[in-house]
Amino acid sequence: MGSDEHQIHLPERFVALYVPPGKIKPTLGRDDLLQRYELCEDMAQLLTDRAADLQFQLGITEAMALDQCEQGLLAEPAVVSPAEARWVVCRLAELLQWPMAQLLKRPVSDSETG
């Protein structure tokens, strides 16, 4: 027992969202990173049923359902950054075992509006 009992592993892919190009250290401290990670992980977990329902009810592809979720995450007032929103939908795709190749090809932008 000790301080390690509350240690949550921060995935490198998530930490990388906060590491500026050419740097090795994230712009946020561990506690702030942990809070952002927990928020994004919770959102991905919460969206699993929603994404599956969207895909089924609308008869759309998995990629389209993920895109809809990403757009929803970016709608104002957004609680996550565009990079975090992309991480959430990639994590969502992982959880649902859906392909995410199309997501990874598309650039993350600050204003993805239709």
- Any idea where the domains of the chain sit in the sequence? 9-105
**In terms of C-beta density within 10 A (0-12 exposed, 13-18 middle, 19 or more buried), how is residue 17 classed?**
buried
Whole-number pLDDT of residue 111: 42
Digitized pLDDT (tens) for each residue of the chain, 114 residues in all: 444 445 778 999 999 999 999 999 999 999 999 999 999 999 999 999 999 999 999 999 999 999 999 999 999 999 999 999 999 999 999 999 998 877 777 778 644 333
